[in-house]
Amino acid sequence: MIPILQNIAVNEKKWFTAEEALDVISVCQSLPGVIAINMATYVGFKRKGLLGSLVSTVGVVLPSFVVIILVAKGLSAFGDNPYVMGALGGLRAAAMGLVLIAVYSIAKGVIKDWFSGISSLVGILLIEFTNMSVVLIVLLFLVAGILRALWNTRREGGLK
């Protein structure tokens, strides 16, 4: 989806230069949420302000929303058909493959040294073996990151 958006925004509609587009991608990736939707919001905002971002966000979410509703309705009618159940089983197996690939690529991207390795392990342990909600745990890591940045800044002398 990202290459499609990139192509439309840079080559077809000339909303951004190629360089700006890279900037937008990296920022949208860093924010929470789904990068493709974030990019749509961003483009809408840059072109036509708040209303533009609202329109483009709704535009990018609406088609899949409708499809999901239709599929959900269909499945509640045909859900116990053996072929449908088999297809679902196949998709569950494929989902397992996809999530394992995601585990590998995220871990590879994050774990670079001892510190990141141990903090990742702490993340896994906190999420899996405590009753704290994942939302809260992510917030704790976020605050810890800010404190660490402030601490480093202070040690280097003065806030920038």
Partner 1 sequence: MIFAKLFWAFFKIGAVGFGGGMAIVGMIYDTIRGFVSMTPSQYADIVAIAQVTPGPVAVNTATYVGYQTAGIMGSLVATLGVATPAFILVAIVASMIDRYKQSRIVQGALEGIRPATVGMIFTAALTICRPAIEAEHPLGGSISAISGILPGHIDGIAILMCAATVLLIKKFHVNAMYVLLIMGCIGAVVGV
Please give the residues from 68 up to 97 whose contact with partner 1 meets the rule CB under 8 A: 68-69, 71-72, 75, 82-97
- Would you count residue 130 as binding partner 1 (CB under 8 A)? no
- Would you count residue 22 as binding partner 1 (CB under 8 A)? no
What's the rounded Cα separation, in Å, for the pair 60 and 67?
A: 13
The interaxial angle of helices 18-30 and 35-78, nearest 10 deg, is 60
The only residue of 12, 64, 77, 114 in contact with partner 1, by rule CB under 8 A: 64
Residues of 61-84 as b/e, b for ≥16 C-beta within 10 angstroms?
A: eeeeeeeeeeeeeeeeeeeeeeee
- Would you count residue 3 as binding partner 1 (CB under 8 A)? no
The only residue of 8, 18, 22, 142 in contact with partner 1, by rule CB under 8 A: 142
Sign of torsion over alpha carbons 130, 134, 135, 138 = positive
- Would you count residue 18 as binding partner 1 (CB under 8 A)? no
Minimum Å gap between C-beta 156 and partner 1 is: 10
Minimum Å gap between C-beta 130 and partner 1 is: 11
